[in-house]
Amino acid sequence: MSFRSAALTAVALLLLACSGNGPADNAAEARDRLPPGQALPPPEFEMVPPDESASPTDAWIGKWVGVEGLALDVAPADAPGRYTLTVTLLDGTNRYDGVADGDVIRFTRAGRPETLRAVLGDETGLKYLAGKHDCLMIKTGEGFCRD
């Protein structure tokens, strides 16, 4: 389905939802307003509104690569804004429970509060990541990038 077709379908569904007539009348009216050759989606199709509880840090879900085998995996946990962070450093791999706090993820490591934040590769202090744009950092020397 093209973008134009998807947009027309969304408009038709919006008109259907806002008209106040019965479902059968809405479908017939919406069908009459569609351009020739454009069909309504099947009745079981349901538009899902965007999740307003989504955190900006949800975009960080996935694998991030550092230097010399260092890695970070951000996985969604049991509730919105909660994550499981798997951090592989030179001393091994550990898992932490993280919580979104605006545009950072906070977690505790070895009894100390830590913060995962978005940075440019130059800010990590790692030459290998210099010039990269899609990076996360816990602290200087602990940086991970996607690009």
In the chain, where are the structural domains located? Answer: 1-48, 56-145
Q: What is the pLDDT of residues 56-112, one digit of tens each?
A: 999 999 999 999 999 999 999 999 999 999 999 999 999 999 999 999 999 999 999
Q: Are 5 and 12 in contact (CB under 8 A)?
A: no
147, pLDDT greater than 90: no
Among 93, 61, 96, smallest CA distance to 75 is for 61
Whole-angstrom CA distances from 24 to 5, 21, 48, 116, 121 are 22, 8, 21, 52, 56
- pLDDT at position 33: 63
- Average pLDDT taken over every residue of the chain: 79
Only one residue has tokens 């490591």, namely 109
